Structure 1
């Protein structure tokens, strides 16, 4: 005696019904019925997108062991529900095996630096290999993503140190170039300052000579019978007393040396001798 059994099927799912152990039909979403005990519910197939994360450990061409995580997004093809349900005992295990096969054949041909740059190529190779195989069993591979590449901790530290050393080398070169520019600019500034100082001294001396010339001419015109020698002696004596006054008014002055002679010619000769000795 068959007893009707009701079942509620969720959206994006179908229920596989078997009659006496043989596939009979599919129950779509909504309320469905099958007759017990002749018919029974064999299982449920979901059309939702599923994701399987596969962790693969392998080595690169330069003998660096690393772990990669490949995320495979797949979906059951509606027209091939029978194949998806009855062809494979464990679809996830089948997908994992194909991911292992592709990754362990591709990664050993690449060096560690190239692995990070070839993520897209590796993911495409995994997707193509899975799509070619799993489509026969009723599964569609939507995407394969390499979500993580994790070398050994010591390898990552070594890579960071290499990068740090390169950047430090560039920094030292830039710092040296900056110091060179500063020294060149300082030398140029010093040369310019010395040039301008020389120009100032030359102009100062020219002004002094012009002033002395004017003073001598005026003195000769104002004082009859005075010679140029008398004027020069007077100017030297005036400058001498100005110098004595400046030295004496200094805070740190302790001793002042004054020539012996009192006559104008003696002072003049002493100043000339002191000037010649200084030169």
Structure 2
């Protein structure tokens, strides 16, 4: 009796197949062997080697089934990746904000300490005079950095004693407004 591969797998997997349909032809062939002095009591089939075309067809069927499953799972995986990416960006921005806030706090603390130390050590100066001097110093530092940049871009900044005073007063007004909002 010859079983096709599909029949073999169907018979192996199925719970409701007809034993007589398979066993009777085998028993007849086995009984014919007894005429030659052989009696086959049991046999174990360990390897079913189907035709190459049958193997290829079954592999294509399995591959198609796996591709269908993968196609269903891919959107879910992409969704998870987008969620994780968004969570990472949110965490990054949060930590960046904390870093900027700490940097600004350190700058304010340093300026306050400098103003207090300078006004205590130099008689006749007020904290406002010291702040004006610090702002002018920072203005010149900024101009130096802009001028030393290797990528030359045109930056037009009003420059002169009056312009520095205007910049200092604008910064001071911004700080006072921020302070009045906090209190």
TM-score, normalised to structure 1, is: 0.45
Residue equivalent to 1:259: 158
Q: Which has the higher helix share?
A: 2
CA distance in 1, matches of 2:122, 2:7: 103
1:160, CA displacement in angstroms?
A: 3.7
1:183 is the counterpart of 2:79? no
Aligned-residue CA RMSD in angstroms? 4.4
1:194, CA displacement in angstroms?
A: 1.7
**Structure possessing the higher relative contact order (Cα contacts under 8 Å, 6 or more residues apart):** 1
Aligned length: 168
Residue equivalent to 2:168: 268
Task: Specify which of 97, 101, 106 is matched with residue 198 of structure 1.
Answer: 97
Q: Match of 2:149, SS? A: coil
CA distance in 2, matches of 1:240, 1:227: 20
Q: Match of 1:142, SS? A: coil
CA distance in 1, matches of 2:30, 2:150: 99
**Cα gap change, 1:158/1:117 in structure 2, threshold over 3 Å: closer, same or farther?**
same
Give 1:54-69 correspondences, 5 Å limit. Answer: 56=2
TM-score, normalised to structure 2, is: 0.63
Residue equivalent to 1:142: 40
> After alignment, is 262-271 or 184-193 more displaced?
262-271
CA distance in 2, matches of 1:173, 1:218: 69
The Cα offsets for residues 26-79 of structure 1, whole Å up to 9 and x where unpaired, read as xxxxxxxxxxxxxxxxxxxxxxxxxxxxx75xxxxxxxxx769xxxxxxxxxxx
Does the CA-based 8 Å contact 1:123-1:144 persist in structure 2?
no
Residue equivalent to 1:240: 139
Unaligned runs of 5+ in 1: 1-54, 57-65, 69-109
Residue equivalent to 1:104: none
Residue equivalent to 1:231: 130
Q: Which has the higher strand share?
A: 1
**Cα gap change, 1:181/1:148 in structure 2, threshold over 3 Å: closer, same or farther?**
closer
The Cα offsets for residues 137-167 of structure 1, whole Å up to 9 and x where unpaired, read as 797652697897868x5x7665443222012
CA distance in 1, matches of 2:101, 2:167: 28
Larger Rg: 1
CA distance in 2, matches of 1:268, 1:191: 36
Residue equivalent to 1:114: 10
CA distance in 2, matches of 1:113, 1:134: 27
